[in-house]
């Protein structure tokens, strides 16, 4: 598996991208409307936010995704088209209609996504011009791919993308992806979007299954502040341009899944590393649980504790906050079997702190990457969650923003 | 119902309290060991943390509470006696044994509680001297009650106590309480403790029922940072010195419950107002829910969102964060029936922001008390949760603390 780091979304064969500034964002030096297009008919799959309050483009795109054919992603940043009522839904449909005309493909093959401020109507004249401009600028150079990655950013401080080249049956298959994240919610212009392309041929039910599996070990294992957005979308297009077909229950499926897992995990971690105000990347491994569900519950409880997050911000090996956050996750624990390692140093063993040197552990926490490993001693299941710390900068970003 | 604001824990007849500094806390001008004693035999009830990692005194006191007779609270601050293994449990038992000797009551009538740093052995020589000193200083003046309230404080910035005088069947019944809170967890010397006394006679099963009801609408309706401590304890002693008996299903029970509700709600709100770094007291009312359980789930989801808490810290009427936090609470919602009021001004109506003046709403948020009222339009159930904002000061307190 070879990793590609530029132009990722157009790295697979048969994909073009185009992005423009159309005036939705306030900064003129940024891009705010992008299109990805497969040059040939393709299958697709997508996952959406579980929030009960979801945006108009999510409502529209759920229908597109259900049909299993996606040929284009049309995405604007700067306005989430959420909490915009009936007009918002009409605007999402209109975006697809305009793109359909420009791209000469069926409206039903277009997935729409929006991210940015919520509760404000889309400036449809700007959006229409943007779609036309982006469609006119489509191309498959790395610059086209990089522009697309930048066009979906909001409070993100950097472009997040990756692609992998796999060898399947002696042929190249490429999977490319872009994502954006930062905080988690819209008025602060932050939601989670991820778009993936591949030149394999994959029937949409299998593609859907692969995407769910990958999302489950990546995007469903990260948390910045526990706040699920109204617009979260993860979508994939498979266009077959590589000449390689992935069939259910084949060895090829396994190779493809590995590649997709790599792309989604890389992108999910990139979101955490660029979390609002983040200074630390924290991997929480819970092992020895009775079930994977228990392990995830506990890892999430630790990851979402503001007390744990502030302690790590302060580079303090505060085992008590970590262990007690595990204790209120709603999973039966046995304190006398519980061990905690911080950066691989045992700090809490069988219900009590160890005598290991706290200064050494503190010093290890000056690194940007922090590992917490909690051993429960109750079973054979394990799971991992990634999160970031809670800093003054997070409070500044989120308290000083004004609606 | 008359409210008493000084010496509250000894305001009911037949109670004494004593508190001393015995050297557990580092600040010599503070008190760190206190005892409350009923002068006559009494009933009792208590509730404890649901955290799977719980302190030795919680383990010990659960047994005391189950027997239904509590005659004394023996409490130290500065060390939580949590994550201290078998020795910790022996120390908790030893505290009861020493107190039993000093107070001339059965060891089984003594409820032990500890709060403070975790993972460090109790200095039992200091604790023993403290118990003896506190027992020797018992008295029932307001000063005795106030000292007791201060002896349980850790990062609290102020004493929290209240008492009420009820008229039941022409006689006075008093209920007095003290509490401590601040953050929520021990290495940072913050846990939730509450001790209540009353001079009514109440059989312990009924007392237990009344305490559960009151705690459910008070301590179970607050959140500072969602982090449940290892030591949380709410306990009550009823000694009958007023000559008034409260029997099950009587009109007296209702009056007593009202008084107890007042005391616990007052104390719970006092904890929130003194939350670590809190600058705002936030009341979240969720109405029109299908069930009370749904209403609480949604109110908690809003209360625990760092994005909502930072927005309120910044006095920003960020309806999007509030509504979307409701949306991921795991309760089915209908956006088109949802209304949100901030400080009684409608800001979000039927799925969209209103045109009401944001400046007026922002100005109203300069007050210390903030009200959020979410109408779901789905049923007749309602509930309320209280929380505070998330400030730079919270991050400072919790990131700069060192284990």
CATH number at residue A296: 3.10.20.340
The residue in chain A having the minimum alpha-carbon distance to the alpha carbon of residue B187 is: A320
A362 and A378, same structural domain? yes
Among B53, B307, B324, the residue with its CB nearest the CB of A333 is B53
| pTM, rounded to two decimals | 0.89
Does residue B89 surpass a pLDDT of 90? yes
Range of the domain at A373: 281-400
In angstroms, the CA A377 to CA A332 distance is 12
Residues of chain B found within 8 Å of residue A54, distances taken between Cβ atoms = 327
Segment 282-301 of chain A within 8 Å of chain B by CB: none
Q: Which of A56, A116, A307, A349 to mutate to test the interface with B (most CBs of B within 10 A)?
A: A307
Task: Mark whether A156 and A135 lie in a shared domain.
Answer: yes
Out of B183, B317, B353, the one facing A83 most closely (by C-beta) is: B353
Q: Write out the two tokens for B37.
A: 């004693």
Kindly report, residue by residue over B118-134, the tens digit of the pLDDT. Answer: 899 999 999 999 999 99
pLDDT at A183: 60
Instruction: Closest CB to A306: pick one of B84, B225, B362.
Output: B225
What pLDDT does A182 receive? 67
Residue B278 pLDDT greater than 50, yes or no? yes
ipTM: 0.85
What's the CA gap between A297 and B78, in Å, rounded? Answer: 31
Q: Which residues of B touch A390 (CB under 8 A)?
A: 306, 395, 399
How far is it, in rounded angstroms, from Cα B302 to Cα B386? 10
Q: Which among B122, B132, B178 has a CA at the least distance from the CA of B153?
A: B178
Which of A85, A118, A316 shows the shortest C-beta gap to B403? A316
Contact state of B318 with A403 under an 8 Å Cβ cutoff? yes
Q: Do B305 and A392 touch (CB under 8 A)?
A: no
pLDDT for the residue numbered A190? 55
Q: What pLDDT, on a 0 to 100 scale, did the predictor assign at position B188?
A: 42
CATH code of the domain in which A78 resides: 3.60.70.12
Phi-psi region of B148 (alpha: psi -120 to 50; beta: other; left: phi over 0): alpha
| Claim to verify: residue A395 and residue A261 sit in the same structural domain | no
Cβ contact B48:B62 at 8 Å:
yes
Q: Within this chain, do residues B195 and B331 fall inside the same structural domain, yes or no?
A: no
Task: Please answer yes or no on whether B401 and A314 come within 8 Å at the CB atom.
Answer: yes
Tokens representing A346 are 């045992």
B192 and B242 both lie in a single domain: yes
* C-beta atoms surrounding B23 within 10 Å: 16
Question: Distance between CA atoms of A176 and B257, rounded to whole angstroms?
Answer: 63
Task: Specify the residue for token string 């936090």.
Answer: B325
CB of B212 closer than 8 Å to CB of B374: no
User: Would you tell me how many other CB atoms lie within 10 Å of the CB of residue B332?
Assistant: 10
Rounded CA-CA distance B153/B140 in Å is 20
Interchain proximity B391–A395, CB inside 8 Å: yes
The residue assigned the tokens 């591949």 is: A198
Question: B51 vs A328: CB contact, 8 Å cut-off?
Answer: yes
What mean pLDDT comes out for the span B280-302? Answer: 96
CB of B320 within 8 Å of a chain A CB? The answer is: yes
Instruction: Determine the Cα–Cα distance for residues A94 and A87; give it in Å rounded to an integer.
Output: 10
Together in a domain, B201 and B334: no
**Which positions in chain A touch B387 (Cβ < 8 Å)?**
none
Nearest one of A168, A118, A120, A174 to A145, comparing CA atoms: A174
Residues 6-65 of A with CB under 8 A from B: 50-54
Closest-CA distance of chain A to residue B178, Å: 25
- Contact call for A398 and B310, based on CB within 8 A: yes
Task: State the pLDDT at residue A223.
Answer: 78
- pLDDT recorded at residue A395: 85
Distance of CA A394 to the CA centre of its chain: 19
Higher per-residue confidence, B190 vs A392: A392
Q: Which residues contact A355 (CB under 8 A, 6 or more apart)?
A: none
* Cβ–Cβ contact A399 with B under 8 A: yes
State whether residue B257 is helix, strand or coil.
helix
- B216 and B298, same domain (yes or no): no
Q: Give the position of tokens 């029970």.
A: B253
User: Given CB atoms, is A395 within the 8 Å cutoff of chain B?
Assistant: yes
Give the strand pairing for A160-168 and B160-168.
unpaired
Cβ partners under 8 Å of residue A3, min gap 6: A162, A163, A164, A262
Strand ranges of the sheet holding B345-349, from the earlier edge strand across to the other edge: B222-223, B381-388, B281-289, B369-375, B339-342, B345-349, B352-353
pLDDT of residue B182: 67
Residue B394 φ then ψ, to 5°: -60, -45
The active-site residue out of A43, A49, A191, A223 is A191
Record: contact B324-A186, CB cut-off 8 A: yes
- Stated as kind and residue range, the H or E segment containing A72 is strand A72-79
Interchain proximity A187–B320, CB inside 8 Å: yes
Which distant-in-sequence residues (6+ apart) come within 8 Å of A96 by Cβ? A60, A64, A74, A107, A110, A112
Q: Could you confirm whether B157 is annotated as catalytic? A: no
Q: What is the Cα–Cα distance from B200 to B217, expressed in whole angstroms? A: 22
Are B101 and B212 found together in one domain?
yes
Considering its fold, how many domains does chain B have in total?
2
Binned at pLDDT 50, 70 and 90, residue B215 comes out as very high
Closest CA to A109 of A97, A92, A119: A97
DSSP letters, A287-329, are: EEESSHHHHHHHHHHHHT-HHHHHHHHTT---HHHHHHHHHTS
Q: Which residue of chain B comes nearest to A347, CA vs CA?
A: B119
Q: With a CB-CB cutoff of 8 Å, which residues 62-101 of chain A face chain B? A: 82-85
Spatial distance between the Cα atoms of B126 and B119, rounded to a whole number of angstroms: 17
pLDDT-derived band of residue B185, with 50, 70 and 90 as boundaries? Answer: very low
* A398 in B contact zone (CB under 8 Å): yes
Each residue's pLDDT tens digit in chain A (403 positions)? 999 999 999 999 999 999 999 999 987 779 999 999 999 999 999 999 888 889 999 999 999 999 999 999 999 999 999 999 999 999 999 999 999 999 999 999 999 999 988 899 999 999 999 999 999 999 999 999 999 999 999 888 899 999 999 999 999 999 999 999 866 543 344 578 999 999 999 999 999 999 999 999 999 898 777 677 888 999 999 999 999 999 999 999 999 999 999 999 999 999 999 988 899 999 999 999 999 999 999 999 999 898 899 999 999 999 989 999 999 899 999 999 999 999 999 999 999 999 878 899 999 999 999 999 999 999 999 999 999 999 998 888 878 766 6
Residue of B nearest to A349 (CA): B83
Query: What b/e sequence results for B215-243 when a residue is b if at least 16 CB atoms lie within 10 Å of its CB, and e otherwise?
Result: beebbbbbbbbbbbbbbbbbbbbbbbbbe
Domain final position from B273, B297, B317 = B273
Enclosing H/E stretch for B394: helix B392-400
Instruction: Please give the pLDDT value at position A345.
Output: 95
Q: Going along A139-269, which residue ranges are E strands?
A: 160-168, 171-180, 193-198, 222-223, 233-238
Q: What string of DSSP letters covers A33-54?
A: EEEEEESS--EEEEEE---SS-
Task: Give me the pLDDT at residue A189, please.
Answer: 41
B395, B400, B402: which to substitute to probe chain A, counting the most A Cβ within 10 Å?
A: B395
Best interface-test mutation with B: which of A187, A289, A335 has the largest number of B CBs within 10 A? A187
With CA atoms as reference, report the closest residue to B238 among B294, B273, B281, B199: B199
* Chain pair A-B, CB pairs under 8 angstroms: 225
Q: Do A306 and B226 touch (CB under 8 A)?
A: yes
Beta pairing class for B369-375 and B339-342: antiparallel
Q: Which of A215, A244, A273 is the last residue of a domain?
A: A273
Whether residues B264 and B296 share a domain: the answer is: no
Give per-residue pLDDT as tens, B340-375: 999 999 999 999 999 878 899 999 999 999 999 999
Domain final position from A229, A244, A273 = A273
Say if A203 is an interface residue toward chain B (CB within 8 Å): no
Examine the pLDDT at B163 and tell me if it is beyond 80.
yes
Q: Which residues does residue A166 pair with via DSSP β-bridges, in sequence order?
A: A173
B224: pLDDT strictly greater than 80: no
pLDDT band at B402 (very low <50, low <70, confident <90, very high): low
Residues B184 and B217 in one domain: yes
Kindly state whether A230 is in contact with chain B, defined as any CB-CB distance less than 8 angstroms: yes
Q: Which of A53, A117, A329, A396 is the best mutation test for B, with the most CBs of B within 10 A?
A: A53
Exposed / middle / buried, residue A127 (Cβ in 10 Å: 0-12, 13-18, 19+): buried
Q: In this complex, do A51 and B331 lie within 8 Å of one another by their Cβ atoms?
A: no
Nearest 5°: CA angle at A353, between A350 and A357? 130
A229 in contact with B, Cβ within 8 Å: yes
Kindly state whether B390 is in contact with chain A, defined as any CB-CB distance less than 8 angstroms: yes
| pLDDT value at residue A207 | 98
Is there a contact between B323 and A51 if contact means CB atoms under 8 Å apart?
no
Dihedral of alpha carbons A95, A99, A105, A109, sign: negative
| B67 vs B352: CA distance, rounded Å | 55
Alpha helices in B152-244 (DSSP H): 204-216
- Which entry of B43, B191, B198, B201 is annotated as an active-site residue? B191
Instruction: Please give the pLDDT value at position B189.
Output: 41
Same domain, A226 and A195: yes
Please judge whether B328 and A185 are an interchain contact, meaning their C-beta atoms are less than 8 angstroms apart. Answer: no
Tokens of residue A369, six digits? 């990457």
Out of B52, B183, B185, name the one closest to residue A333 (CB): B52
Verify that A236 and A289 share a domain, yes or no.
no
């Amino acid at each position: 598996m070879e990793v590609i780091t530029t132009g990722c979304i157009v790295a697979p064969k048969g994909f073009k991208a185009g992005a423009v500034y159309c005036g939705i964002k306030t900064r003129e030096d940024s891009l705010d409307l992008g299109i990805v297009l497969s040059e040939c008919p393709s299958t697709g799959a997508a996952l959406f936010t579980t929030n009960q309050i979801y945006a108009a483009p999510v409502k529209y795109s759920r229908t597109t995704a259900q049909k299993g054919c996606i040929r284009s992603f049309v995405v604007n940043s700067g306005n989430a088209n959420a909490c915009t009522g009936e007009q918002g839904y009409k605007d999402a449909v209109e975006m697809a209609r305009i793109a359909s005309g420009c791209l000469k493909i069926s409206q039903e093959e277009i997935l729409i996504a929006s991210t940015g401020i919520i509760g404000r109507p889309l400036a449809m004249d700007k959006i229409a011009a943007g779609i036309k401009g982006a469609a006119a600028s489509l191309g498959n150079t790395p610059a086209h791919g990089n522009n697309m990655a930048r066009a979906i950013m909001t409070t993100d401080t950097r472009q997040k993308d990756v692609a992998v080249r796999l060898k399947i049956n002696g042929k190249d298959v490429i999977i490319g992806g872009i994502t954006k994240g930062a905080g988690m919610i819209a008025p602060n212009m932050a939601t989670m979007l991820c778009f993936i392309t591949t030149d394999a041929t994959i029937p949409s039910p299998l593609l859907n299954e692969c995407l769910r599996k990958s999302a489950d070990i990546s995007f469903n294992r990260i948390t910045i502040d526990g706040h699920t957005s109204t617009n979260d979308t993860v979508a994939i297009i498979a266009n077959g341009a590589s000449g390689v077909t992935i069939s259910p229950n084949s060895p090829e499926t396994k190779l493809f899944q590995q590649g997709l897992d790599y792309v989604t995990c890389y992108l999910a971690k990139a979101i955490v590393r660029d979390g609002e105000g983040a200074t630390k990347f924290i991997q929480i491994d819970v092992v020895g649980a009775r079930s994977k569900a228990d392990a995830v519950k506990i890892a999430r409880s630790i990851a979402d504790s503001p007390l744990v997050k502030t302690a790590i911000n302060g580079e303090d090996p505060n085992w008590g906050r970590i262990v007690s956050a595990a204790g209120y996750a709603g999973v039966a624990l046995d304190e006398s079997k519980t061990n905690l390692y911080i950066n691989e140093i045992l700090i809490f063993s069988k219900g009590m702190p160890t005598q290991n040197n706290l200064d050494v552990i503190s010093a290890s926490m000056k690194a940007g990457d922090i590992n917490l490993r909690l051993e429960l001693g109750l079973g054979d299941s394990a799971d991992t969650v990634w999160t970031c710390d809670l800093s003054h900068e997070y409070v500044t970003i989120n308290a000083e923003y004004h609606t």
